[in-house]
Chain A
Amino acid sequence: MKFFTEENSSLAEEIIGRYPKPRSAMIPLLHLAQEQEGWVTDEAMAEIAELVGTTSAEVLGTCSFYEMFKRHPVGKYVINICTTMSCALMGAGDLMEHAELRLGVKSGSTTADGMFTLEGAECQAACTEAPCLQVNYRHQYRVTTNQFDALIEELSSSDHEVPEHGVLSQIRQHIPENRFVGVVPPEDVTAAPVWLNDNGSDQ
């Protein structure tokens, strides 16, 4: 049994083909796996290892370093409340307390219905809009406790645009074949690029 769907398999090939060394595609492929399943399974890691030419242990090594990769199922919506300085100064502590009460779970856990995972997070590059949070890595700014409740209502209904956990960018890069310069393993490149040579230079 293959892990990746047919569509994702060809996407994976396309992504790998953009790097001079296949291993560089590891993180993008882990994201693709998480997009497909909502979390990163052992089967996914084994298949990624094969695709980029390494071992499952190596993939696990990389995967486990990065916070966004979940190696167990999480909620449909992962809510990350920023707890770093600017947000803390502007009331992130109260917001977190409220969120725990509203969702009935402690930070770091998932609601029984599998809808929400609540996490404390680090600076989200929105410090001027504190306190802020992200739902599946999409920002909400200057969040009051009322707004938090409204957000939970909205996410519980079907009337919103936040994709399920695992889906990151909804737009993919596509390099048209006729415009793709293509990749060469670095060891096979020995000369300066043509536009430097043509200008009589070899800095």
Chain B
Amino acid sequence: MSEMTGTPIAHAPGFIANETPRIVTARFDYADSHTLERYEATDGYQALRKALEQTPEEVHSEVTDATLLGRGGAGFPAGVKWGFCPPGVWPRYLVVNGDESEPGTYKDRLLMELDPHQLIEGCLIACYAVGLSQCFLYVRGEMAVAQERVATALNDAYDAGYIGKNILGTEFSVDIVLHWGAGAYVVGEETALIESLEGNRGMPRLKPPYFPASIGLYGQPTIVNNVETLANLPWIVQHGASAFTAIGTESSPGTRMVAVSGHVKRPGVYEIVNGTTTFRDLLYGADMCGGIRDDNQLKAFVPGGGSAPWFTPDQLDLPFEASQVGPQGSMLGSGAIMVMDETADIPAAALTLTKFYAHESCGKCVPCREGGTWLEQILRRVVEGRGTPRDLELLIEVGETICPGDFPHAAVPSKGIEAVPFPYRMTTICFVGPSAFAPIHSALTLFREEFEAKVAGNEHPTMIEVAVDV
């Protein structure tokens, strides 16, 4: 990045800088980081110029070589996904997933509020490389300020000739349309996002096709990428894939943004080196969270957003590397770490997540619609001291209607429990159903004694027994 002038400010709410090379948060120190002026003064739109001097294939190859893993949750390499567009089928669209709403996740909103031009430049690079002729930037409905910042940036970039007809005097022409949602978590799932963008109820589509790259918006090839994924593109084009892969590991290069919330000393959003940074570095590092609040003991943490099975101190030394986290029973998901110290009431904490997924079920599949509600109700009575030992079995039985067979979980060496690796089997269309079960399954597997204490003595059912066919 070229020399910056101007006054650095206290960091944006949530963001905490550390020693990591800053790829996507580089401008966050500036009070005017969101303006076109600041963006242009700090190398902004130079990557676009550079891309336009190359062929689209060259740009695409650079991104493929960078092994840029999708930051929306699934971690699929962007360059490879772009290649799934069927040849000869036009038009192709880009849909930007700015619906950020997975519990614990806080990064895309910062990127949209603090550096919207970086995102816009990323969108333009993707459109150029893959031949996408229109871009829809879908911002979560409840993010009024992000919408304002993105709208302003789009208006300024149009006026400056970066978006629209004949960009920078070339043949490359693309519109970016700001679109926004209206409050529904499941719309973050990419096929639901497309349904919503078509003006429908935001319900996920049946798979296959597994990627909207083959059949997406209006039935056309459509690339859906997460905000953070796209925000990496200007840096990759500017500095080259090899500079990107020089950071992190071969299978997880670059940096990623993670939000750490809950019982740590310095909750915040950090840009960390991918692949090598461990949960211990993040939770205890002096330049990161600095340990557990009040120097309490760490009890458990959710490593990858509310959908992820939980970890305990035994997994602290795992790095941000999917190939190591998966076999240990969880996933990195959306880069959201929620921390519980020794004072946390585990069943109650699990309930705050299960109620979320039960509430957000779109209702398309029976196991999710019915199962999620039952899981919430049963867990609630356990948490409130009205449950029975039978309820603990019932929780698992209902869960197995959503995810038959072994469900992934972490190892507990002290109790002789071995890890069950990812992934799981599921009877539902999308991951909302399984996500209602995941916190319950983890909490019950890792902290069964806390549940037993809550139901102890309640031998007589306080509610009518529910018959569930498994």
Contacts and interface: CB of A to CB of B under 8 A. Distances in A.
Interface in A164-203: 168-176, 178-184, 186, 189-196, 198-203
A31 B90 contact: no
A171 B128 contact: no
A28 B180 contact: yes
A19 B108 CA distance: 24
B275 to A, nearest CB: 23
Contact of A21 (B179, B198, B269): B198
Interface string A20-44: 1101111110110000000000000
Contacts of A195: 56, 128, 131, 170-173
Interface string B172-212: 11110111111111000000000011111111000000000
Contacts of B103: 84-86, 122-123, 127
Interface residues of A, number: 75
A65 B204 CA distance: 13
B175 A176 contact: no
Contacts of A20: 134, 218
Contacts of A18: 175, 177
Interface string B126-142: 00101101100000111
Given A24-B199, A169-B148, A128 B57 contact: no
Residue picked from B141, B184, B268, most chain A C-beta under 10 Å: B141
Contacts, number: 247
A178 B173 CA distance: 12
Interface residues of B, number: 90
Interface stretch (A110-118, A130-138, A149-157): A130-138
A19 B177 contact: yes
A85 B104 contact: yes
A69 interface: yes
A88 B172 contact: no
Given A86-B104, A127-B106, A170 B131 contact: no
A138 B182 CA distance: 14
Contacts of A85: 103-104, 262, 302, 306, 338, 349, 352-353, 356
A181 B273 CA distance: 39
Contacts of A84: 103, 306, 352-353, 356
B432 to A, nearest CB: 12
Given A85-B103, A124-B142, A196-B131, A66 B184 contact: yes
Interface in B101-127: 101-106, 108-109
A125 B261 CA distance: 11
B280 interface: no
A83 B13 CA distance: 20
Contacts of B88: 192, 202
Interface string B147-186: 1100110110011010111000011111101111111110
A173 B154 contact: yes
Contacts of B265: none
Contacts of B147: 168-169, 171
Given A31-B182, A66-B202, A180-B165, A128 B261 contact: yes
A195 to B, nearest CB: 4
Contacts of B148: 169-171
Given A176-B164, A190-B90, A86 B262 contact: yes
A168 B91 contact: no
Contacts of B349: 85, 88-89
Contacts of A62: 199-201
B14 A137 contact: no
B133 A27 contact: no
A14 to B, nearest CB: 11
B263 to A, nearest CB: 6
A11 interface: no
A143 interface: no
A129 B13 contact: yes
Contact of B261 (A23, A68, A127): A127
B143 interface: yes
B91 A186 contact: yes
Given A138-B145, A181-B173, A193-B131, A202 B87 contact: yes
Nearest to A186: B218
A173 B163 contact: no
A21 B261 contact: no
B107 to A, nearest CB: 8
Given A123-B105, A137-B143, A179-B159, 19 more contacts: A28-B180, A62-B201, A65-B203, A66-B202, A67-B182, A67-B184, A85-B338, A85-B349, A86-B261, A88-B352, A124-B142, A125-B140, A126-B109, A127-B336, A176-B158, A183-B134, A195-B56, A196-B56, A202-B88
Interface of A: 18-21, 23-28, 30-31, 52, 54, 61-62, 65-69, 80, 83-86, 88-90, 122-130, 134, 136-139, 141, 168-176, 178-184, 186, 189-196, 198-203
